[in-house]
Structure 1
Amino acid sequence: MTQHRRSVAKAVSYRLFATSVVFGIAFLFTGELGSSAKIGLSAAIAKTALYYVWERLWANIDWGVAEA
């Protein structure tokens, strides 16, 4: 079984990686560090919130869950 701290480390490192990619793409389009940072940070916050909502929705779906 995977330890919780490993899962947290993976989630945080992935979010940093994905935010860096969004920042880089935004910088290619805007050419501005400030705007790119705002876009990257906004995307990270929005995606985190949306993922939480998505998880809560899936928590109500019994499909594929083994009964104990």
Structure 2
Amino acid sequence: MTSTLGGLVSDRPHQALSRAVVKTALYRVLMVVVSVAVAYLVVGDVSAALSIGLATNVVKTVTYYGYERLWDRIAWGIPTAE
């Protein structure tokens, strides 16, 4: 196995795309619940809380997925089999 950029970027096999998608979806469901609960505590209105929670989490889902895929390519902190 080789790596580039002084061992920071790995070309080793990565987690399956389906695994990353499932991890992302489950994490976002949890975060939607948290966001809606916090929004409700702030605004006191269920409809507004749902709108806030859902809108912010759509953006966060896409961002997290990209971030996770990027980190999957960084070898730093992952022992290599030699």
Give the TM-score band, short-chain normalised: 0.5 to 0.7
Which structure carries more helix by proportion?
A: 1
CA–CA distance in 1 between the matches of 2:54 and 2:63?
14
8 Å contact from structure 2 (residues 36, 49) kept in 1: yes
Q: Residue 57 of structure 1 corresponds to which residue in structure 2?
A: 70
Deviations 1:10-62 (A, max 9, x none): 65444323211210110111111221111110222122111112123223423
- TM-score (norm. length: structure 1): 0.62
The change in CA–CA distance for 1:59 and 1:23 in structure 2 (over 3 A counts) is same
Q: Which structure has the greater CA radius of gyration?
A: 2
- TM-score (norm. length: structure 2): 0.54
Question: Which structure 1 segments of 5+ residues have no match?
Answer: none
CA–CA distance in 1 between the matches of 2:33 and 2:71?
28
Question: Considering only aligned residues, what root-mean-square deviation do their CA atoms show, in Å?
Answer: 2.8
CA–CA distance in 1 between the matches of 2:48 and 2:26?
23
Q: Residue 38 of structure 1 corresponds to which residue in structure 2?
A: 51
The change in CA–CA distance for 1:29 and 1:13 in structure 2 (over 3 A counts) is same
Higher relative contact order (CA 8 A, sep 6+): 2
Question: Which structure 2 segments of 5+ residues have no match?
Answer: 1-17
